[in-house]
Amino acid sequence: MKPSVPNIRQVAEYAGVSVGTVSNVLNRPDLVAPSTRERVQAAIKELNFVRNDSARQLRAGRSRTLGLVVLDISNPFFTDVARGVEEIANHNGLAVIVCNSDDDTEKESSHLDLLNEMRVQGVLINPIEGSDKKIEMLREHGTPVVLFDRQAASEGECSVAVNDLLGGRQALTHLIDTGHQRVLFLSGPFHLRQVQERHEGAVAAVEASSTPLDLDVMTTPTPNVTTGRSAGDRIAAMPPSTRPTAVFCANDLLALGLLQALTHAGLQVPHDIAIVGYDDIDFAAAAAVPLSSVRQPRQQLGRTGAELLLDETTNPDHEHQQVTFEPELIVRRSSDLQRS
């Protein structure tokens, strides 16, 4: 059987109507008399007609897809966000193109080019430092862009974010309160705004405290489980006298890897070293030692982002908004000596 792809003209012919009428049946059925409508619908079914979206969007000017660019699709934090986006998008008959930038400017750039060529309705992006020009370019072409997990720099754009400064402060305040004096910030690359701000928040908490506290930083190239593990190996190898008594991790993947390496090296969490993660992904609670973590409203982030984007595309008097959610520290065993 040959791949038969009938077009709207053939449907029209088969049903004995004009092309315009078929289009009307498809797009504004109420403009068509019931009897003709049925005839056309029967023809569509009979011929197995499927509308060609390229042609439709060529005419319409825009496609029916949303672009979502994330740093790391393997990170459950981002899949949760993606779910939120998808929920809203599907609800409005839109598809989502998920792109993975892997914290690589080149990749991000080529993804954005592709999305631009596709004339997507809009783009939701967790931008890497320095991708502002590309984003500006998209905007100039009439594609709205909403920043997520990153506060907008100006009021001229939409963003959804979570207060990372506060999150960092919450984590460190907790560690200070539980008596730690040598804390390590296990960081991702500092060009990520999230990382910077979580660190900044941590520093602020230290400065606000009356008790003295050493806050060191160990940087990893990519914040995932594997790098967390090797950081853990290095930390475990430190002499107990200089080793940190608590580690605040830039995300939960690092924290999980760290936890695994420390345990493997025979160190007790939280007795020897306490750990606080970030994101509170589902796996944090299921970890070897249930992980304290700064919770972010993940799906909510995605939903709100998608809603802002849709509003910007459809609402003529859209007003740019910078939405910020508050994080919440969830204390579990990994940082709670009492409980363990």
Partner DNA sequence: ACCAGCTAATGAAACGTTTCATACAACCTA
Partner DNA sequence: TAGGTTGTATGAAACGTTTCATTAGCTGGT
- Distance from C-alpha of 157 to C-alpha of 55, rounded to nearest angstrom: 31
Q: Which stretch binds a copy of itself (CB under 8 A): 97-105, 165-173, 174-182, 191-199?
A: 97-105
Total Cβ atoms within 10 A of residue 180 = 23
Nearer to DNA, 20 or 130 (CB): 20
Nearest distance from residue 228's CB to a copy of itself, in Å? 9
Nearest distance from residue 86's CB to a copy of itself, in Å? 6
Q: Which does 31 bind (CB under 5 to 8 A by kind): a copy of itself, DNA, none?
A: DNA
Q: Which residue's structure tokens are 């520093």?
A: 203
Q: Which stretch binds a copy of itself (CB under 8 A): 169-177, 199-207, 235-243, 280-288?
A: 280-288
Binders of DNA among residues 54 to 113 (CB under 7 A) are: 55-56, 58-61
Query: Closest Cα to residue 281, out of 325, 323, 332?
Result: 332
Contacts of 8 (CB under 8 A, 6+ apart): 19, 22, 23, 49, 51
Binders of DNA among residues 2 to 21 (CB under 7 A) are: 5, 7-9, 17-21
Task: Walk across the sheet containing 328-330 and list its strands.
Answer: 214-219, 182-187, 246-249, 274-279, 292-295, 328-330
- Which helix (H) or strand (E) segment holds residue 214: the answer is strand 214-219
When binding is defined by CB under 7 A, the residue of 42, 45, 46, 52 that contacts DNA is 52
When binding is defined by CB under 7 A, the residue of 1, 2, 33, 133 that contacts DNA is 33
Binders of a copy of itself among residues 285 to 304 (CB under 8 A) are: 285-290
Number of residues that bind a copy of itself (CB under 8 A): 59
Query: Closest Cα to residue 22, out of 4, 52, 10, 48?
Result: 10
Nearest distance from residue 199's CB to a copy of itself, in Å? 24
Does 36 help bind DNA (rule: CB under 7 A)? yes
Nearer to a copy of itself, 55 or 238 (CB): 55
- Distance from C-alpha of 274 to C-alpha of 338, rounded to nearest angstrom: 12
Does 283 help bind a copy of itself (rule: CB under 8 A)? yes
Residues forming beta bridges with residue 186, ordered by sequence position: 218, 249
Does 63 help bind a copy of itself (rule: CB under 8 A)? yes
Single-letter code of the amino acid located at 253:
L
Task: Tell me whether strands 274-279 and 292-295 are parallel, antiparallel or unpaired.
Answer: parallel
Query: Closest Cα to residue 325, out of 304, 308, 339, 309?
Result: 304
Nearest distance from residue 141's CB to a copy of itself, in Å? 6
- Distance from C-alpha of 328 to C-alpha of 317, rounded to nearest angstrom: 34
Nearest distance from residue 63's CB to DNA, in Å? 12
Q: Which does 97 bind (CB under 5 to 8 A by kind): DNA, a copy of itself, none?
A: a copy of itself
Residues that bind a copy of itself (CB under 8 A): 1, 3-5, 48, 50-58, 63, 65, 73-74, 76, 79-80, 82-83, 86, 90, 95-100, 107, 110-111, 113-119, 137, 139-142, 225, 256-257, 259-260, 282-283, 285-290
